[in-house]
Chain A
Amino acid sequence: MGQVCAIETKAITKDNIRPWLAAMLEETKVIAPEESHGDILYEFIDSAEEAFLDHYEVPPWMSIKRFFFPQMDTILKYKKGPAGIIVEPAVSELKRVIFGVRACDHTALTFCDKWYTADGLKDVYYLKRRENSTIINLACNKPGKNCFCVYADSGPFAKTNFDVQLVDFGDEYLVEIGSPKGRAITGGRYAALFKPAPQNAEEKRFELLLESKGQFKTFVDQSTVTDKLKKDEVPDILWENMAKRCQNCGGCSYVCPCCICFNVVDKQISEHEGYRIRTWDNCTFAGYTLMAGGHNPRGKQKDRFMRRYYHKLFYEFDKFGERGCVGCGRCTTTCPGKIDMARIARSILMRGA
């Protein structure tokens, strides 16, 4: 930890952030945190003034997942004409910059990349959006109350793969450039907004990182949990008691930046015309595994619930060397049954064999 995977470093004063956003808006769409009725949300902004740049509790409510994998996405349209059936895929070509992305969400995105290219398959809808996006990370100097990215090895500062990462130095940000895309939005016509990185940047960054790491309030020892799952050391009664609190809302996977499951349905406009959508799905729904004949291999809530956590913490770790949880803590907020990742990990560690 501590080493910087940047190809170049610069600095930008805080006063120059809005002009930078304004300049980018002249060329592309920009997504940034916005304040709305007390909530901090990522949204397309029309002007630099709309971006919320003050300190706010991290991470923003709802991840950037939905800009890559929308909740409901039309993937193709079909029409039956005299010449036969015409199928028209609907792939988004929109170019955009996403500003203020936190390390957890950024890590989640690189994790999703693995899924959407796994086993030689390429998900064009996701990958096209990924290709068309430039991401400006904002390192977290002060974690939120439900955050545990530090234990999920995904934050509070992004280590690799970012386009640009900003580190808050007080009056200015250290600007770490990590890719050609990052270079494009910090050089050229934007170059005048930046200045050289300060002399002591590396030490200061290291200090801030240590300081941030010291502030986490939620402790989740994921590797021990993975180990327990691997060895099948979690008693059934624990799963049963947790699963019984599930309210079937689907919220855990909807807010999870690492959840990638979807369902595909066709919507008919007329006898000859229609479109196909994919929508977010959740593995804790009975319908998720229900088979055509009525048999459900995971018919019980406990089985579905247990598999969800085995999948996130063990199977995915086994497959990719990474867990399907980046410690953003959003499920802690959204789970009405209080059986979110942090609490489950805690239960397993406290009671599990």
Chain B
Amino acid sequence: MKKVLTTCTYCGCGCNFYLQVRENEVVGVYPSKEHPISQGILCVKGWNVHEFINHPARLKTPLIRKNGELVPDTWEAALKLIEVRLNSIRKESGPDALAFLSSAKCTNEENYLMMKLARAAAGTNNVDHCARLCHASTVAGLALAFGSGAMTNSINEIEDCDVILVTGSNTTEQHPATGNRIIRAVDKGARLIVADPREIPLVKYACLHIRQRPGTDIALFNGMMKVIIDEKLLDEEYIELRTENIEELKKIVDKYSLEYVEKITGVPAADIKKAARLYASSKKASIIYSMGITQHTCGTDNVLTLANLALLTGHVGFPHSGINPLRGQNNVQGACDMGALPTVFSGYQALSSEDVRKKFAKAWGVDKLPDKAGLTVVEMINAAAEGKLKALYIMGENPMLSDPNTEHVEVGLKKLDFLVVQDIFLTETARLADVVLPGTSFAEKDGTFTNTERRIQRVRKSIDPVGESIPDWQIILKIAKLLGYDMHYDNPSKIMEEIASLTPIYGGVHFDRLKLFGLQWPCPNREHPGTQFLHREAFSRGKGKFSPIEHTPPAEEPDQEFPFILTTGRMYFQFHTGTMTRKTSQLHREHPEGYVEINPADAKALGLRGNCQVKVSTRRGAVITRAQVSTIVPEKIVFMSFHFAEAAANRLTNDALDPKSKIPEFKVCAARIEAVR
């Protein structure tokens, strides 16, 4: 038996634990006591992470579709088929008929290789990943306001905040280690404001719970800003020295009187005032948000509004105060950093810059790189449905459950000429593939993950790949070769060396430096100790920029036919599409099936009893699930989690996009609830 220290594969907190190995099987796990995030603590998913790794359902050989059925075959046959199909599609329809979905579950090195595969080998910028579905609006919004789209502070700073505003983040359930720091802060005397339509567990610790109607965040925060301006609680010195465009903001915000905001948001004027005063009059005030802010058609504007609020009060650029988007996946920060996005290379270096394209072309030994911006996740599906996209290569993602309007996703994926899925289990998406390649879990490979606070941490191999599976980075090398482009790396640390040489914010990141504490980017050179919090003294873009933002309603609002607002999210015991957690007995036992949360008053009006079957329908589809009658949701709002294929919430959600960041509106759509008799 041996133990291997590695980084958790679930959420973005980046806890470190020891995997316990016996005869090439992972049989247990326990947290690192000395690690800065874990500190001897794990959430229930972390404590049970070992169980899915050697699960019998793991994919152990490639699968090829023959006569409509996926049957096991050799690597040789699978690769041959991919070679023939991808090359012929590229020849007939051009490189942009190909697209690649990278994975926030995979390592930095793998994401870097995937975007290199798309750009240098296939010759297209059609590369994206699930960050599009969670924080595309954060990356766009914070880049505009500050010049850098990541958490400004570190998780451990939260503990010493005076005021914490949590909005659109069910932190204790979705980012338990971070939620734990919020609780510690409250224990130490911090005041917590929760702005969330649902009564999430953190509300127990809050001094104020604001329940704005879903999709009215801009109005709420504009209202708070008006109070701050009217009561002269703004930080004039900070605004003068470190920001620009304040006058534009003031003009817009002026009309957001408390009465007006109350009408839009449903939040009592007194609460808005209280929140504004609390937030503005504390030095160490931090905003923590997640997908409740980002997953809207006004997602980028929501983020910009929060940035305005923080700039107005001088709450960015110091320890303990800042804006902190919590990234959902273990390595969604890293996948973005690595440029697995259709418009940037690694380190957010813009595709539109000719100098940048030349730099990468030279380093990668190609004549030139494509300059046309690629397709985003939902756009790929649309292009596939229209027949413009012919081939899709998916690594470690499950759009059949994770993307909005999944009936439409299915249409798109089925229309493709060729679909390759590389994963560890036969997911709902893999079932539709022409070829399935067995990748490896985080326990079977070396590499790095970057957590939500920009901390680059080691992932260490603890067991040999299961069956004939191959570490994902090695599969990508094979695919590149099939496309006529040779890449060679002895091991992931060599890939990181290349990343460091081409990516200024990762310039000083080398495996030999990644000890227990990892390194937080920006880390421009080998001597640099990493950066605990961003925008000290100056913003990445120079001055912090106010953006005047008007409230815009969601793409779909309730009406007579669909009278409820359906909002979606996650729960503590399951993770995303359940690929791993539903194969873990203890986690699955706690929450084996989906449900819809509905307020007792609504349930009574509809004649629903707790646990009874209900049909939830929207303009896009319908699912049957169970009613969970609870005051967690207010009246006229229902909530579903998207973990369960049998009651897939994303058959219902709206694929309307935020025009600025192309993130879909998962958080609001109009729905109808009916009893199933």
Contacts from A to B (Cβ < 8 Å): 36-39, 41, 43-44, 61-62, 66, 70-73, 244-245, 247-251, 254-255, 263, 265, 267-269, 274, 277, 279, 281, 285-287, 290, 294, 333-338
Contacts and interface: CB of A to CB of B under 8 A. Distances in A.
A61 B56 contact: no
Interface string B1-37: 1110100000000000010100000011111111100
29 contacts: A38-B32, A43-B1, A43-B2, A44-B1, A66-B28, A70-B28, A71-B20, A71-B28, A72-B28, A72-B50, A247-B180, A248-B44, A248-B572, A249-B41, A249-B42, A249-B46, A249-B176, A254-B47, A265-B585, A267-B56, A277-B585, A279-B585, A281-B586, A285-B586, A286-B590, A333-B33, A334-B42, A336-B41, A336-B180
Given A43-B2, A290-B589, A333-B33, 17 more contacts: A37-B516, A38-B32, A61-B30, A66-B20, A71-B27, A247-B176, A248-B572, A249-B43, A249-B47, A250-B44, A268-B56, A279-B48, A285-B589, A287-B590, A335-B41, A336-B43, A336-B176
B204 A244 contact: yes
Contacts of A265: 585
Contacts of A36: 3, 5, 18
Nearest to A62: B30
A223 B603 CA distance: 48
Nearest to B43: A249
Contact of B183 (A44, A70, A73, A245): A245
A72 B187 CA distance: 35
Contacts of B56: 267-269, 274
A249 B32 contact: no
Contacts of B585: 263, 265, 277, 279
B172 interface: yes
B83 interface: no
B51 interface: yes
B611 interface: yes
Contacts of B180: 247, 336
Interface of B: 1-3, 5, 18, 20, 27-35, 39-44, 46-48, 50-51, 55-56, 172, 176, 179-180, 183, 187, 204, 515-516, 572-573, 585-586, 589-590, 611
B478 to A, nearest CB: 28
A37 B5 contact: yes
Contacts of B31: 334
A287 B572 CA distance: 14
Given A72-B50, A249-B42, A337 B589 contact: no
A279 B3 contact: no
Contacts of B572: 248
B588 to A, nearest CB: 9
A323 to B, nearest CB: 23
Contacts of B204: 244
Contacts of A249: 41-44, 46-47, 176
Nearest to B611: A294
A251 B41 contact: yes
B346 to A, nearest CB: 28
Contact of A41 (B3, B50, B179): B3
Contacts of B27: 70-73
Nearest to A285: B590
Given A37-B34, A281-B586, A286-B590, A333 B172 contact: no
* Most chain B beta carbons < 10 A, residue from A73, A267, A277, A290: A267
Given A244-B204, A247-B176, A254-B30, A72 B590 contact: no
The secondary-structure label for the interface of chain B is: mixed
Nearest to A277: B585
A287 B41 contact: no
B187 A338 contact: yes
* Most chain B beta carbons < 10 A, residue from A268, A277, A336: A336
Nearest to B204: A244
B590 A247 contact: no
Contact of B29 (A38, A71, A286): A71
A281 B187 CA distance: 29
Contacts of B51: 72, 279
A60 B557 CA distance: 57
A337 B205 CA distance: 12
Contact of A38 (B1, B2, B28, B516): B516
Contacts of B172: 247
A39 B39 CA distance: 10
Contacts of A337: 183
B41 A334 contact: yes
Contacts of B20: 66, 71
Contacts of A254: 30, 47
Contacts of B176: 247, 249, 336
A267 B55 contact: yes
A247 B43 contact: yes
Contact of B32 (A39, A248, A255, A269): A39
* Most chain B beta carbons < 10 A, residue from A72, A255, A268, A338: A72
B50 A71 contact: yes
Nearest to B180: A336
Contacts of A267: 55-56
Nearest to B184: A338
B608 to A, nearest CB: 16
Nearest to B585: A265
A250 B46 CA distance: 10
Contact of A251 (B18, B47, B515, B611): B47
B41 A38 contact: no
A333 B40 CA distance: 6
B279 to A, nearest CB: 25
Contacts of B39: 333
B637 to A, nearest CB: 24
B604 to A, nearest CB: 21
Contacts of B35: 37
B660 to A, nearest CB: 36
A41 B371 CA distance: 53
B669 to A, nearest CB: 30
Contact of B34 (A38, A268, A290): A38
Contacts of B28: 66, 70-72
A38 B38 CA distance: 13
Contacts of B46: 249
A84 to B, nearest CB: 22
